[in-house]
Structure 1
């Protein structure tokens, strides 16, 4: 199975695309997630949608708006509220995790491999086959 992050942006106008992906794929949604981290003393959040794998093909997309939204627990904001409203409409909980920021990795791909490892370890993603 191929599991891959698909970055839409940092959560400004692309948050609407993330929400639309969730609404259009309501039957494929596995999880809605929020990854919290700190970059340069600023608390930020990435919003994530994990879809179930395609059949056939075994491709599991993980859509992300990376680190562009203020952490809603420190600084409430409309963008997170929109994501939370979507979760409520879809009757899904938002799983929240504290993770290291992408800025400590020399390449974004290493950051995404790290996140996939965390998601597998916590059984949110199936193990490699």
Structure 2
């Protein structure tokens, strides 16, 4: 199984693309998630739509808007509210996790490996076969 983060951006205007992708693929949607972190003193959140693996090729996409939205528990904001409204509409709970920021890793690929390990250990995504 291949599990890969597909980065849409940092959550400014690309949050609307994440919302549309999620709406149009709701039959494949496994989870909606929010990763909270601290980047150089800024409390920020990444929003993620985790899709179910494809039948052919066993590819699992995790669409992410990385570290560009203020943490909604500290600074309420419309972008998170839109994501929450979609979760309510799709009857999904937003799974919230606090993680290390991506800038603590030498390469972005290492950050994504770290996050995939957390998701596997918590059984949010399947283990490797």
Fold in common (TM above 0.5): yes
User: How far apart are the structure 1 equivalents of 2:123 and 2:111?
Assistant: 18
Structure 2-normalised TM-score? 0.99
Residue equivalent to 2:57? 57
Which aligned segments of 4 or more residues in structure 1 are displaced greater than 3 angstroms?
none
Residue equivalent to 1:24? 24
Residue equivalent to 2:122? 122
Q: Mark the runs of 5 or more structure 1 residues left unpaired by the alignment.
A: none
- SS of 1:56's partner is coil
Number of equivalenced pairs? 129
How far the C-alpha of 1:8 sits from its partner, in A, is: 0.2
- SS of 2:37's partner is strand
Residue equivalent to 1:67? 67
What are the equivalent positions in structure 2 for 1:1-129 lying under 5 Å apart?
A: 1-129=1-129
- SS of 2:7's partner is strand
User: How far apart are the structure 1 equivalents of 2:52 and 2:67?
Assistant: 23
RMSD of equivalent CA atoms: 0.4
Structure 1-normalised TM-score? 0.99
